[in-house]
Amino acid sequence: MPLYLLLFTVPDKSRHSHGKVIIPVFIPKSMLLKIDGLYNRISFSAAHFIPTIEKCSRLHGHDYTVSLELDGEPKDGILIDYGIVKSAIRGIIDVMDHKVLLPETSPLTRVLCDHRHCTVTYGAKEFRFPVSDVYMLERVMTSSEMLADYITAKMVEKLKPNKNLRKIKVCVYEGPGQCTCHEMKFNGE
């Protein structure tokens, strides 16, 4: 593994030195940070439907858990503070917690909202929800695949000022052992 060699000069108060000691510190050029959403309670509950799958076209809900990995070059010995990452991801998912997720750009569903209600129609089904109970997802579907894509893109926006980060992978779990992951590079790829 390629390493950086950093030399730190520190004061030395022992009798045998001339006041300073140089300490070599080896820091890896690449690090991978992982945050497990289950253990860190990075989760939200929401209802949704998927019109293209018979069983899933019924309104139903999940207790979603979100985990992530960040790859990059350490700066001052760390990749990024865990607290910054967890705060960023919670800021994205907390607004979806206990909401009905509706696709904002779906050609399969029709969503009409006024100041009080959102009415959703697809096929022969029609639902009406209070606006305060709805989160409009900027995607064509509210599947775990689209949630992973959405959360990944939002995390890249929030963490982009950290120039040492190269890649992020976000996994959205619909239940234990069942997830969809999306990867994105910070340079837009």
Burial of 153 (0-12, 13-18, 19+ CB in 10 A): middle
**What DSSP line would sit under 25-51, residue for residue?**
EEEES-EEEEE-TTTTT-EEEEEE--T
Q: What is the pLDDT of residue 176?
A: 87
Q: What is the pLDDT of residue 187?
A: 79
Over 90: is that where the pLDDT of 77 sits? no
Beta bridge partners of 168: 70, 184
Span 64-88, average pLDDT: 94
- Read off the pLDDT of residues 36-58 as tens digits, 9 standing for 90 and up: 999 999 999 999 999 999 899 99
Handedness of CA 176, 105, 184, 79 (dihedral sign): negative
CA distance 8 to 20: 10
**Residue 57: other Cβ atoms inside 10 A:** 15
Q: Contact 67/151 with Cβ under 8 angstroms? A: no
Q: What is the residue-averaged pLDDT of the chain? A: 89
Q: What is the pLDDT of residue 24?
A: 64
pTM of the model: 0.84
Q: What is the pLDDT of residue 75?
A: 86
Over 90: is that where the pLDDT of 138 sits? yes
Over 60: is that where the pLDDT of 8 sits? no
- Read off the pLDDT of residues 95-107 as tens digits, 9 standing for 90 and up: 999 999 999 999 9
